[in-house]
Amino acid sequence: MVIWLFLLEICFLTPVYRVFPHSSVGYLKWKYPRIVYKVEEQHPKPIESSRDENGNVTEYTPVDITQPNPNNQEFDCLYLDMNGIVHPCSHPENKPAPETEEEMMREVFIYTERVVNMIRPRKLLMMAIDGVAPRAKMNQQRGRRFRSAQEAKEKEDSRQQHYREMEAQGHTYTDEQKDKRAWDSNAITPGTPFMDLLAQALRYWVARKMNQDDGWKNLQVIISDASVPGEGEHKIMDFIRRQRSQPSHNPNTEHVIYGLDADLIMLALATHEPNFRVLREDVFAQSDKQRKQNKGGRGPPQQPNSDQPAEPNPFIFLDVTTLREYLYFELKLPNMPFGYDLERAIDDWVFMIFFVGNDFLPHLPSLEIREGAIDTLLAIWKRCLPLMGGYLTKHGDVNLKRAQMIMDGLSSSEDEIFRRRKETEDRQDRNAKRRKMEQQKRDVELSNRGSQSTRAPLPSDRNMDASTESSSIGGVEYKSVDIKSNNDLIANRHKMRMANMNAADMLKAQMSGGFEMKSDGQVKQENQRLNETEEDNKRKHPEEDVPEDEQIPGVKVTKAEPEDEEQGEESSTQPSKPKVNPDGTVDQEDTVKLWEPGYRERYYRQKFNIDLSDVEQRRTIVHKYLEGLCWVLKYYYQGCPSWKWYYPYHYAPFAADFENIESLPIKFELGKPFRPFEQLMGVFPAASGVHIPRPFREYMTSHDSPILDFYPEDFNIDMNGKKMVWQAVPLLPFIDEERLTSALKTRYDDLSDDEKRRNERGCETLMISEEHPLYDQICKLYTKRKGNSRIELDLDKADSLAGYAEADADVIPGSTFYSPLSTLEDQPDVVDDRSIAVRYGFPEQTHPHKSTILKSFKGKPKQLSSYDIEKAKNGGDNNNNYRGGGHNQFRGNNSAVPSSRPPRPQFGSARPHRPPPSYIQGRPMGARPPPGQGVFSPSLANGARPRPPPPTMGMGRPRPPPPTGGYRGSYGGYAGAQRPPHGGYRG
């Protein structure tokens, strides 16, 4: 008994506190650098004969994707999380935004084609757009959209202020210039007209590619648009799980998924399909290139080549196969009392990642990914695993008795974690102050020399940390209140407004667009750009589709006068007023003070409005949070366990409060997803009401609205101990589903027919070319006058694609597919369409998803050397200049992303070979080569996988006769009729 207690005490010890990247993706790149490598792609070639009078090339030869993949690897299936494409195409960062929504569609086509060209899928392309999300996700969406609308309003106010100032100086502007507003990115939400246009445009574009591009003629394309419930990436994973449960599934299928969400790697691991890669844009490539250019060099500056389009960012692979190899050694423990199961160990690892951050729960106060929370949990898991008697999870279910040991281990370290966090923040603040004073001293010296106009650019390390402490000069003050319970947030809105003033005033400093209001009313333009909206920030940092506290700041804040100090009779009880500084930091006293004794009492009193002695209420909070952890794991492994469940608090409990959790019941009711308009009304602020049908808009603004309290113009934010304003918790009231749906039901009859169609649940679309072997079977669905009969796909002809197909009433094969982009001359109608589309249904899940590798899987040669494994065990890649700066994984070391997969020795080599002399030359003796370059001898390249032979595309099959029957005959009189309003065959 004494020995067991001693071992249990040992398992509660945690590793040394260190500083880590801010996001889970950044952490993986840092610790397991071999999972990242650059994608090789071919670009369109200029046609010399197309030069215009200025000598610029206007036409390019398209990429031939029937040729072997330049990455020396052929891929079967490509899955596109389309929201990761739509966002950067609709409001790009490095070029002017498209003027119209139809022009945005063209940009989506261009970007999507580039991704398809570099991957060249041989069997399947699936494009999934976010549909209605589970209620647990809608809470996060609501906060983001309210903040986005608030930012847009403040940017517009500052823009108009700029026009007034310039007009006062004699400048003139047209009404068109002054009335031009930025496009509202909140339109990228299921149920809006924009999303309906996107669905129509993608079907049109696929039909056009199948008629024009030989590389698409044997490709099956599935489109899951916004009318199909579910997040895009989770619809993709549901498809993979269902295919995987079929006897026809090939476990050696090569999968690639594109997207910006940080959880794609976890989702890929959860499928237990070993051959998986995550594709994403290397968003730091341009900044690295610009930094290198700024360093200067000999010779004249290089001139851009006008023959080539602007060089786009390269793409990188995150190789899940290699990550699994890393995890095999990372998670294997010696002398275990039970057998090692890599698949089960990976599931436990994924589950622990959810503790650190996910889109559905606030993370535990003691877990910050930048502080090494993942390694902390992993160390606890390793020490507790021998005592558990088995793994934490099984096929998506959590063993609560074993999870209790993890919580106990974490709770024993919470006090120390909070103290070390405070020490680190204080040290960073001191360093930031010192750097600021040194910079001010240099500025004064340069000013005294009169050399301000010619001074050199400051080094990149002048950028201050997120925790930089700035002086209060010019800071913006706005009010904060003690955080009450969620019921108080709704019931005492007026009281909170008085304490917090106007949220627009509160946030104006961070989004004022670069103007300073002087005391005399004069407006001074600062040398600062307009702030990015939250969606802009998401595109710039793809890891940002993770919990708010893991995001990287992208706002620059200008100075403004402090507000009045008098805030009414309650001001004396409120925390000190926060100030938003020019670097985006906020000066606010943290009244919880987690590093001081009594923090639990203060935390629950301020965050939940309860006393620590209220054991029953704390137990309820823990129960809901535990439900959330179990919900998230099931969501990733088995699909959505409940469309209705959500965590009803803004904050998480402490690990110390998780006591006797095995006795807490965990049950979920599946329910049904919201309808599209119900979600719009649940996540949109009144400022985005233009995207909502008119009969519902007045619910957002009318004083007679029964749900007016769902749409506050003013809302509190709580810094919650953070430094950056984007890290604040928006304290919005939670939506009461019953009140919302009851109010909307009374207005459904007032919707137009088109609005009613947009509010209905849709299904996936399957599209193929007439060259595809499945074409004849699909055509039979359209030869009956009364179609819509359901057929099961022929697995032999469908490349083992399982599922069901039925006729689409809006499809007339062999006719003209009208373009939904009628204003764009380069998007013509598809005349004599040689593609066909049907409604597609996923196959039934024959058995629950299991965390196992399927039989007949053929393993691949090992990619890691013993050096790679030891480096990962010793803390990862230390050459990437991590200083707690989050998304810095490639800065200062461009070789962190190898140009291609480097040759590697067979597994078991004791040490890597000495780099070739060409690399060593000019390098200090003993200096470490960058990861991915010069690590292994070229003589080891013999172990590389040979290039596979070009695939047989099945071309040249005679064209089948067009289908006959009711649908084609009924279309005969339509040729000269009015074109369909939404494109397609009927509109």
DSSP states of 185-240 = GGG-STTSHHHHHHHHHHHHHHHHHHHH-GGGTT-EEEEE-TTS-S-HHHHHHHHH
Residues 645 and 675: their CA atoms lie apart, in Å, by 16
Residues 51 and 502: their CA atoms lie apart, in Å, by 57
pLDDT for 382 equals: 97
pLDDT for 557 equals: 33
The residues near 251 (Cβ < 8 Å, ≥ 6 apart) are 244, 273, 274, 853, 854, 855, 856, 857
pLDDT for 578 equals: 52
Q: Residue 652 corresponds to which amino acid?
A: A
Cα–Cα separations (whole angstroms), residue 713 to 8, 159, 504, 536, 962: 52, 20, 8, 22, 58
Burial of 181 (0-12, 13-18, 19+ CB in 10 A): exposed
Cα–Cα separations (whole angstroms), residue 25 to 33, 261, 322, 334: 11, 9, 15, 28
Q: What is the dihedral of CA 499, 505, 506, 507, to 10 degrees?
A: 160
Residues 272 and 258: their CA atoms lie apart, in Å, by 18
**Domain limits, the chain:** 133-189+470-589+703-734
pLDDT for 21 equals: 58
pLDDT for 653 equals: 98
pLDDT for 849 equals: 96
Residues 790 and 806: their CA atoms lie apart, in Å, by 5
pLDDT for 929 equals: 41
Using the Cα atoms of residue 757, residue 758, residue 763 and residue 768 in order, give the sign of their dihedral: positive
Instruction: Find where tokens 């039901």 sit.
Output: 745
Residues 30 and 879: their CA atoms lie apart, in Å, by 9
Residues 147 and 129: their CA atoms lie apart, in Å, by 23
Q: Is the pTM of this model over 0.85?
A: no
Nearest to residue 803, comparing CAs of 793, 813, 794, 790? 793
Nearest to residue 204, comparing CAs of 137, 327, 108? 108
pLDDT for 686 equals: 96
pLDDT for 566 equals: 34
Burial of 393 (0-12, 13-18, 19+ CB in 10 A): buried
What's the start-to-end Cα distance of the chain, in Å?
75
pLDDT for 723 equals: 80
Half-sphere exposure of 246 (CA within 13 A, CB side): 18
pLDDT for 422 equals: 93
pLDDT for 124 equals: 98
Instruction: Find where tokens 């099945």 sit.
Output: 954
Q: Residue 950 corresponds to which amino acid?
A: P
Residues of the chain with pLDDT under 70: 1-22, 285-310, 450-584, 784-788, 876-982, 985-987
The number of residues in the chain equals 987
Cβ atoms 361, 651 nearer than 8 A: no
In 61-85, which positions are buried (b, 16+ CB within 10 angstroms) versus exposed (e)? eebebbeebebebbbbbbbbbbbbb
Query: Could you say which DSSP state residue 97 is in?
Result: P
pLDDT for 971 equals: 30
Cβ atoms 372, 14 nearer than 8 A: no
Cβ atoms 798, 237 nearer than 8 A: no
Cβ atoms 344, 333 nearer than 8 A: no
Residues 317 and 900: their CA atoms lie apart, in Å, by 10
pLDDT for 58 equals: 82
pLDDT for 460 equals: 41
Burial of 18 (0-12, 13-18, 19+ CB in 10 A): middle
Phi-psi region of 335 (alpha: psi -120 to 50; beta: other; left: phi over 0): left
Cβ atoms 631, 642 nearer than 8 A: yes
pLDDT for 259 equals: 94
Residues 227 and 125: their CA atoms lie apart, in Å, by 19
Residues 610 and 617: their CA atoms lie apart, in Å, by 8
Cβ atoms 23, 40 nearer than 8 A: no
Q: In sequence order, which ranges of 44-134 are alpha helices (DSSP H)?
A: 83-90, 101-119
